[in-house]
Structure 1
Amino acid sequence: MNATAFPVPASTDRDVKDARADRGFRWLVTAAGVFVLVSLAAAALSMLWGGREAFAKFGIAFLWTDAWDPVGLNFGALVPIYGTLVTALIAMLIAVPVSFGIAMFLTEIAPKWLRGPIGSAIELLAGIPSIIYGMWGLFVLVPYLSEHVYPWVDAHLGQLPLVGTLFAGPPLGLGMGTAGLVLAIMVIPFIASVMREVFLTVPGRLKESAYALGSTRWEVVWDVVLPYTRSAVIGGIFLGLGRALGETMAVTFVLGNAHELTASLLMPGNSIAATIANEFSEADSDMYRSALIALGFVLFLVTFVVLAAARLMLRQLSKKEGN
Structure 2
Amino acid sequence: MAVQSDAPVMEAAGPYDRAKALSAFKLGDITFYWITRLSAISVLLILGGIIISLVIGAWPAAKAYGLPFLWSQRWAPSADPPVLGALSPMYGTLVTSFIAMLIAIPVGLGIAIFLTELCPQWLRRPIGIAIELLAGIPSIIYGMWGFFVLGPFLAYTFQPFMIDTFGSVPILGAVFAGPPSYLSLFNASLILAIMVLPFITAISVDVFKTVPPVLKEAAYGVGCTTWEVVRNVVIPYTRVGVIGGVMLALGRALGETMAVTFIIGNSFRISTSIFAPGTTISAAIASEFAESDGLHQSALILLGLLLFVLTFFVLAAARLMLLRLEKKAGK
TM range (shorter): over 0.9
What residue in structure 1 maps to residue 100 of structure 2?
91
| 1:230-309 correspondence runs (5 A) | 230-283=239-292, 285-309=293-317
Q: Distance between the aligned counterparts of 1:76 and 1:205, measured in 2? A: 57
Q: Distance between the aligned counterparts of 1:162 and 1:149, measured in 2? A: 19
2:145 is equivalent to residue 136 of structure 1 = yes
Query: Which is greater in Rg?
Result: 2
Q: Deviations over 1:184-210 (max 9, x none)?
A: 001001110000111011111100000
What residue in structure 1 maps to residue 66 of structure 2?
59
Q: What is the CA-CA distance between 1:41 and the residue it aligns to?
A: 1.5
Q: What is the CA-CA distance between 1:79 and the residue it aligns to?
A: 0.4
What residue in structure 2 maps to residue 161 of structure 1?
170
What residue in structure 2 maps to residue 316 of structure 1?
324
TM-score by length of 1: 0.95
Residues 68, 76 of structure 1: 8 Å contact kept: yes
The counterpart of 1:41, out of the listed 45, 48, 53, is: 48
What's the secondary structure of 2:170's corresponding residue? coil
Q: What is the CA-CA distance between 1:154 and the residue it aligns to?
A: 1.3
Q: Distance between the aligned counterparts of 1:82 and 1:103, measured in 2? A: 31
Q: Distance between the aligned counterparts of 1:10 and 1:181, measured in 2? A: 66
Q: Distance between the aligned counterparts of 1:20 and 1:272, measured in 2? A: 49
Q: What is the CA-CA distance between 1:149 and the residue it aligns to?
A: 1.1
2:230 is equivalent to residue 215 of structure 1 = no
Q: Distance between the aligned counterparts of 2:55 and 2:173, measured in 1? A: 40
The one-letter code of the counterpart of 2:229 is V
The one-letter code of the counterpart of 2:180 is P
Q: Distance between the aligned counterparts of 1:102 and 1:149, measured in 2? A: 24
Residues 87, 176 of structure 1: 8 Å contact kept: yes
What residue in structure 2 maps to residue 192 of structure 1?
201
**CA gap 1:140/1:32 in 2 versus in 1, 3 angstroms:** same
What's the secondary structure of 1:80's corresponding residue? helix
Q: What is the percent sequence identity of the aligned residues?
A: 52
Residues 150, 173 of structure 1: 8 Å contact kept: no
Residues 159, 168 of structure 1: 8 Å contact kept: no
The counterpart of 1:114, out of the listed 115, 123, 138, is: 123
Unaligned runs of 5+ in 2: 1-14
Residues 154, 168 of structure 1: 8 Å contact kept: yes
Q: Distance between the aligned counterparts of 1:162 and 1:150, measured in 2? A: 17
Q: What is the CA-CA distance between 1:9 and the residue it aligns to?
A: 10
Q: Distance between the aligned counterparts of 2:78 and 2:105, measured in 1? A: 42
Q: What is the CA-CA distance between 1:63 and the residue it aligns to?
A: 1.3
What's the secondary structure of 2:187's corresponding residue? helix
TM-score by length of 2: 0.93
The one-letter code of the counterpart of 1:157 is F
The one-letter code of the counterpart of 2:43 is V
Q: Distance between the aligned counterparts of 1:82 and 1:25, measured in 2? A: 47
Residues 122, 189 of structure 1: 8 Å contact kept: yes
Q: Distance between the aligned counterparts of 2:31 and 2:71, measured in 1? A: 50
What residue in structure 2 maps to residue 5 of structure 1?
none
Q: Distance between the aligned counterparts of 2:117 and 2:16, measured in 1? A: 57
Q: Distance between the aligned counterparts of 1:175 and 1:181, measured in 2? A: 10
Between 156-165 and 237-246, the greater mean CA deviation after superposition: 156-165
The CA RMSD over aligned residues, in Å, is 1.3
The one-letter code of the counterpart of 1:202 is V
Q: What is the CA-CA distance between 1:163 and the residue it aligns to?
A: 2.5
2:210 is equivalent to residue 201 of structure 1 = yes
